Amino acid sequence: TGVQVSSFLQSRDINLPWGSPDDEPEKQTVCGLGNKKNVLVNKLIDSRGVGILPGSIEFVHHVLSLGLRTAVVSSSKNCEAILKAAGISDLFEVRIDGVVAARRQIPGKPQPDTFLAAAKALEAEPARSIVLEDAISGVQAGKSGGFGLVIGIEHGGQAEALRHNGADVVVADLRELI
């Protein structure tokens, strides 16, 4: 989150001190601003719920019916709240999110480390595992991590960018894979 906040601020020529990950949301630091964003996101989740990509739940149920193991990898520190709000926490055996990555000091995307940590937790070989990603940095992470198949999930006209950055296949709806 801090890196994303810092990049956003720099793109607008705004400079704030980095601060500390435990800065209060009101503190005028990159970390404080990131923490404020997380508070606001959680309020939105509580009041409005969350949207789910088309076909995603059906796809995960299909994968589970085949006896395959699943993990969710997200850079978001709000991942757990999002999964709970969507009612799908129980569909994933492993969760490596922004909170877990920070606690375990795992580098985030586009580095492959969070995906590799999830594969290790599942006792799965990356070369025999699939990464599903809607972000370019995640596709890059899956590819550089040596995962057997990297599937890009396209929304908003980024299919070509996903392919260019390493997606082996790009779909708009995960039901296309069932």
* Per-residue exposure over 93-108, b if at least 16 CB sit within 10 Å of its own CB, e if not: ebbbbbbbbeeeebeb
Fold of 56-177: Rossmann fold (3.40.50)
Q: How high is the pLDDT of residue 1?
A: 57
Q: How high is the pLDDT of residue 52?
A: 79
State the chain's mean pLDDT as an integer. 92
Name the residue ranges covered by the structural domains of the chain: 2-48, 56-177
Please say whether the beta carbons of 115 and 141 come within 8 A: yes
pLDDT digits (tens, 9 = 90+) for 17-64: 899 888 898 999 888 888 898 888 888 888 888 887 769 999 999 999
Concatenated DSSP letters for 6-75?
HHHHHHTT-------TT--TTSSSHHHHHHHHHHHHHHHHHHH-----TTHHHHHHHHHHTT---EEE-S
Please give the C-alpha separations between residue 36 and each of 3, 10, 39, 82, in angstroms, as whole numbers.
Answer: 15, 18, 5, 17
Mean pLDDT by 10 residues, the chain (178 residues): 73 88 89 86 84 86 97 94 93 97 94 98 98 96 98 93 98 95
